[in-house]
Amino acid sequence: MSVRASVPVDRTVGTAAEPRTVYLDHAATTPMVPAAVEAMTGLLGSVGNPSSLHASGRRARRVVEESREQVAAAVGCRPGDVVFTSGGTEADNLAVKGLFWARRGADPARRRVLTTAVEHHAVLDPAHWLAEHHGAEVEHLPVDSRGRLETAALAAALERDPGSVALVSVMWGNNEVGTLQPLDEVVALASAHGVPVHTDGVQAVGAVEVDVAALGVDALTVSAHKLGGPYGVGALVCRREVGLVPMVHGGGQEQDLRSGTVDAPSIAGFATAVTAAAEQQAEHAAHLAALRRRLVAGVRGVVGDVVENGDPTHRLPGIAHLTFPGCEGDSLLMLLDARGIECSTGSACSSGVPQASHVLLAMGCDDAAARGSLRFSLGRGSTEADVDAVVAEIGPVVERARAAGRRSW
């Protein structure tokens, strides 16, 4: 659940300004970088459908194709492997469904979908839909207490009947606890049996070094608004040799893999943002990691029994996921929000649904611990002052939440 309050901006001379909002929910969405805003808005007044053959259409098409080349260079793939979509959810759906249909169409025996128990719902839900409507057999591979895939379980699942496996989908960086999965091992195990691998790289691109060709995955999901681009655009990077089956049919745009008028301005903003993210990745990651360490140490100094979730070494640099025993995460979130500090209880896509995180449950947490957690996610613009503001407020907030919990009994 993610809550983002709208804090009024004081524009009245001579009155006290409202407290500054501390935004620590960058894993849900992060502000556009100025260069991406400029690239996108500079095209909003232009006319021309990229599919049109006249001069205006050709200009729009040139924007799209140059952007495709930029995205490919940023993530280490061929331009022809980049399929623009409306964002990460569509790209995940296209990967899971498109790979399944392609493999099942070539060999009806290939019906198994191997994924982890900690995937984003943009992967889990289409996999379940395939099970309900297309005869898929979905297997959720276990993770350890740090949220990291047990590769022995993947190896066993592949070896049990490799000819029946349609695809493997393992997210790169977990959006809740920040754990990075051992994709090199996943690719090695799957490729030994000729099984394609998809990874949801929405949180990883811009946070870790990305080279799709070196990594060896067959498909990678990217979302613009997670790395400084606009909402409503993303890409599925997919090797052309895979023979993906499209979900959307119509005009045949995007190599006939994603029909619909191509949004040139948004794609230009996306390409600019992902290029900047790739160029600044190492420096940005080091900055976020230092802030995260400061945040965790500061909170631990105030709340002695706080528990940090996720892998301590294999992790995204900017996500700190903390469990506060005896507290409800929703209560903590709202109390912090009232103090101008914005964070989340996990995935923003579960907003408004009061339930324990499926990620924490899969990691072995009990229901109470899974419901008593917060995710602080740092991004561009995050500062030591932001971190210190959380540390200053978290002690009384936790005490108040625990007192409320005792009264409810």
Residue 218: CATH number of its domain: 3.40.640.10
CA 168 – CA 190 distance, rounded (Å)? 7
Q: Which DSSP category does 312 fall into? A: S
pLDDT > 90 in the chain, percent: 90
254: phi > 0 → left, psi -120 to 50 → alpha, else beta; which? left
Q: Are 254 and 91 in contact (CB under 8 A)?
A: no
Q: Do 249 and 320 belong together in one domain?
A: no
Do the domain assignments include residue 1? no
Q: Which residues contact 32 (CB under 8 A, 6 or more apart)?
A: 40, 225, 228, 229, 230, 269, 273
Above 50 in pLDDT, residue 15? Answer: no
Q: Are strands 319-323 and 373-377 parallel, antiparallel or unpaired?
A: antiparallel
Least confident of 66-70, 147-151, 343-347: 343-347
Whole-model pTM: value is 0.92
Reported as a pLDDT band with limits 50, 70 and 90, residue 324 is very high
Do the domain assignments include residue 83? yes
Do the domain assignments include residue 7? no
What's phi and psi for 121, nearest 5 deg? -65, -20
CA 138 – CA 252 distance, rounded (Å)? 30
CA 177 – CA 58 distance, rounded (Å)? 44
How does pLDDT run across 107-146, given as a tens digit for each residue? Answer: 999 999 999 999 999 999 999 999 999 999 999 999 999 9
Q: Do 109 and 209 belong together in one domain?
A: yes
Above 90 in pLDDT, residue 16? Answer: no
2, 166, 222, 394 from 349: Cα distances, Å: 8, 27, 16, 25
Give the mean model confidence (pLDDT) for residues 170-182.
98
Q: Do 164 and 47 belong together in one domain?
A: yes
pLDDT > 70 in the chain, percent: 92
**pLDDT (0 to 100) of residue 6:** 37
Reported as a pLDDT band with limits 50, 70 and 90, residue 18 is low
Give the mean model confidence (pLDDT) for residues 5-34.
68
Above 90 in pLDDT, residue 2? Answer: no
Reported as a pLDDT band with limits 50, 70 and 90, residue 161 is very high
Least confident of 147-156, 165-174, 360-369: 360-369
Above 60 in pLDDT, residue 8? Answer: no
Task: Indicate which residue of 77, 238, 343, 349 is catalytic.
Answer: 349
How many CB atoms lie under 10 A from the CB of residue 252?
13
Give the mean model confidence (pLDDT) for residues 165-172.
98
Q: Do 186 and 255 belong together in one domain?
A: yes
Reported as a pLDDT band with limits 50, 70 and 90, residue 384 is very high
Reported as a pLDDT band with limits 50, 70 and 90, residue 26 is very high
What's phi and psi for 236, nearest 5 deg? -110, 120
Residue 191, domain extent: 34-279
User: Between residues 406 and 404, which one has the greater pLDDT?
Assistant: 404
Q: Do 44 and 113 belong together in one domain?
A: yes
Reported as a pLDDT band with limits 50, 70 and 90, residue 407 is low
Q: Do 257 and 296 belong together in one domain?
A: no
How many CB atoms lie under 10 A from the CB of residue 18?
11
Above 70 in pLDDT, residue 228? Answer: yes
Q: Are 85 and 200 in contact (CB under 8 A)?
A: no
What is the domain-level CATH number for residue 388?
3.90.1150.10
Q: Do 108 and 187 belong together in one domain?
A: yes
Do the domain assignments include residue 16? no
How does pLDDT run across 248-292, given as a tens digit for each residue? Answer: 999 999 999 999 999 999 999 999 999 999 999 999 999 999 999
Nearest to 167 by CA among 229, 113, 215: 113
Above 80 in pLDDT, residue 408? Answer: no
Output the six-digit token pair for 380.
């561009």
How does pLDDT run across 38-65, given as a tens digit for each residue? Answer: 999 999 999 999 999 999 999 999 999 9
Split into its structural domains, the chain has a count of: 2
User: Between residues 22 and 349, which one has the greater pLDDT?
Assistant: 22
Q: Which DSSP category does 77 fall into? A: S
Above 50 in pLDDT, residue 7? Answer: no
Do the domain assignments include residue 6? no
Can 349 be counted among the known catalytic residues?
Answer: yes
Distance of CA 42 to the CA centre of its chain: 28
**pLDDT (0 to 100) of residue 356:** 86
Q: Do 224 and 315 belong together in one domain?
A: no
How does pLDDT run across 186-197, given as a tens digit for each residue? Answer: 999 999 999 999
Q: Do 137 and 269 belong together in one domain?
A: yes
Reported as a pLDDT band with limits 50, 70 and 90, residue 27 is very high
Q: Do 232 and 376 belong together in one domain?
A: no
